[in-house]
Amino acid sequence: MLHHYTKHRCNGIILSLIICLINLTVHHYIKHRCNEIVVKNCYSEESYTTSRHKAQT
């Protein structure tokens, strides 16, 4: 009984760590994507606008 409980707790901890790691990775990826978008919008607004204009015509 105790062994089963310990095993279950270990699995829970491992699962939590995995979920935490996935969340961190995803969050880091999203943050990186957001930074990319912000940089593109701030620093290459002109080229972005012209490329959009070309795409529309």
Cα 10 from Cα 24, distance rounded (Å): 21
3-state secondary structure 1-57: CHHHHHHHHHHHHHHHHHHHHHHHHHHHHHHHHHHHHHHHHHHCHHHHHHHHHHHHC
13, 18, 23, 26: CA torsion to nearest 10: 170
In the prediction, which pLDDT does 53 show?
Answer: 66
Domain ranges of the chain: 1-37
Q: How many residues does the chain have?
A: 57
pLDDT tens digits along 8-52: 787 888 888 888 888 888 888 888 887 888 788 776 655 556 666
Residue 40 pLDDT: 80
Q: What global pTM score does this model have?
A: 0.43
